Amino acid sequence: MTGHAGIAPAGSDVACAGVSALTLTLVRGLQEIACMELTGSQTKGNMVIEWQHMNEIGRALIDTWFLGICEISQHYGCIRYV
């Protein structure tokens, strides 16, 4: 993930807040629920998540995260998929 939605000033952008909340919850879920080892980095406006092995629980969490991202994108039209 990189960048900001740009639909409101920084700190007030509900689309960015939603994506951030979903993504931080995904990371925690992959670590705590799916018991996956993650590497990556996080800086302001950017996050990289990497893993070596995916399990069924991890796949379900990622699929659920993606559904949430799609909902935000449909509502705010501010997310580009690469």
pLDDT digits (tens, 9 = 90+) for 60-71: 999 999 999 999
Read off the tokens for 34.
């799916």
Contact 27, 49 (CB under 8 A): yes
The per-residue pLDDT for range 9-49, each reduced to its tens digit, is: 566 678 888 888 999 999 999 999 999 999 999 887 788 99
Could you tell me the residue ranges of all domains in the chain?
Answer: 14-76
Element (H, E) at 48: strand 46-51
Please, where are the H alpha helices in the chain? 14-32, 56-76
Bin 11: left if φ > 0, else alpha if -120 < ψ < 50, else beta.
left
Give the pair of three-digit tokens for residue 21: 């909340």
